[in-house]
Amino acid sequence: MRMRPTVSWTPAADLPPGTTDLEPVAEALGTGNVLVLSGAGLSTESGIPDYRGEGGSLSWHTPMTYQDFTADAHARRRYWARSHLGWRTFGRARPNAGHRAVAAFERQGLLAGVITQNVDGLHQAAGSEGVVELHGSLARVVCLSCGSLTPRRDLARRLEEANAGFEPVAAGINPDGDADLTDEQVGDFRVVPCTVCGGILKPDVVFFGEAVPPQRVEHCRRLVREAASVLVLGSSLTVMSGLRFVRQAAQTGKPVLIVNRDPTRGDQHALTRVALPLGTALTTVAGRLNIPVDGQAAA
């Protein structure tokens, strides 16, 4: 029997409480060589909901798994209908104050790199350059047969042409750009094949139940080894793809700091967890370090 991937986690009762004290975060960034690990919570202020926070999409949505996508043509049609609709909103999202602050820290030479679990490209849109997209990017599409990579905008155009008049109203959208539609709304949505070989197209992202490419994992492990500390931003660390880097840092004695309003699976390994909104927290830290954000002096 195929097992579903782990998508939820119940906090232990003895986890340390969150704080509002940003001084440890400011001290770490002031020292430099900080590795940022970001999650969906960093993008909520850009209008993209997270999975597990208050109102998170897991309360109404079951994520598509790699196994279902590859094995079931009906599942692929449902996914692409929902993803095509979601892309219209997702593609319009813009970086928020948290993304801009991370980019400002990088410009000041304070970061060892950025590992993001997000697939929205908002770090790069804010100006960050040293970004490892742990789970890939929705801006690219890959063929599962020939491996060809194409821009998502090209696929969006092809899907528009194949599905003229497709304008359902979605109940919501999740962090991977998958809108919530009923089977009736999906209807007979037409999926288009690879233009190179006719194979199955998939967004160039790591689905639930799919492994992160080993070379990408090793690159991230190297970043952890070379960093002085790890700063987690907006991730519950529920899935092992991100938690393993926190555990690696803690096992080697590197400080781990977390900014996340809710408890995380990595709290036991952290020096502190700051329970504040990310945009406010990061711009406050930038102000304490006198680092300009968006070209203006941080207040």
Q: Is 85 annotated as a binding residue?
A: no
Distance between CA atoms of 234 and 132, rounded to whole angstroms?
16
Q: Is 30 annotated as a binding residue?
A: no
Which of these is catalytic: 99, 135, 219, 269?
Answer: 135
Distance between CA atoms of 35 and 169, rounded to whole angstroms?
40
Please state, as a whole number, how many other Cβ atoms lie within 10 Å of the Cβ of residue 55: 10
Distance between CA atoms of 119 and 138, rounded to whole angstroms?
6
Q: What is the CA radius of gyration of the chain?
A: 20
Q: Which two tokens stand for residue 27?
A: 């001290």
Q: Is 32 annotated as a binding residue?
A: no
CB 31 within 8 A of CB 254: no
Q: Where are the beta strands (DSSP E) in 56-190?
A: 111-116, 131-133, 136-143, 149-151
Q: Is 42 annotated as a binding residue?
A: yes
Distance between CA atoms of 112 and 155, rounded to whole angstroms?
35
Q: Is 173 annotated as a binding residue?
A: no
Among 259, 266, 272, residue whose Cα is nearest residue 241: 266
Q: Is 248 annotated as a binding residue?
A: no
Q: Is 178 annotated as a binding residue?
A: no
Q: Is 119 annotated as a binding residue?
A: yes
Distance between CA atoms of 124 and 131, rounded to whole angstroms?
7
Q: Is 109 annotated as a binding residue?
A: no
Q: Is 47 annotated as a binding residue?
A: yes
Exposed e or buried b per residue across 97-111, where buried means at least 16 C-beta atoms within 10 angstroms of its C-beta:
bbbbbbbbbbebebb
Q: Is 194 annotated as a binding residue?
A: yes
Q: Is 295 annotated as a binding residue?
A: no
Catalytic residue list contains 135: yes
Q: Is 197 annotated as a binding residue?
A: yes
Q: Is 146 annotated as a binding residue?
A: yes
Strand order in 34-38's β-sheet? 131-133, 111-116, 34-38, 229-233, 256-259, 272-274
Annotated binding site for Zn(2+): 143, 146, 194, 197
Annotated binding site: 39-59, 117-120, 143, 146, 194, 197, 234-236, 278
The residues annotated with a catalytic role in the active site are 135
Annotated binding site for NAD(+): 39-59, 117-120, 234-236, 278
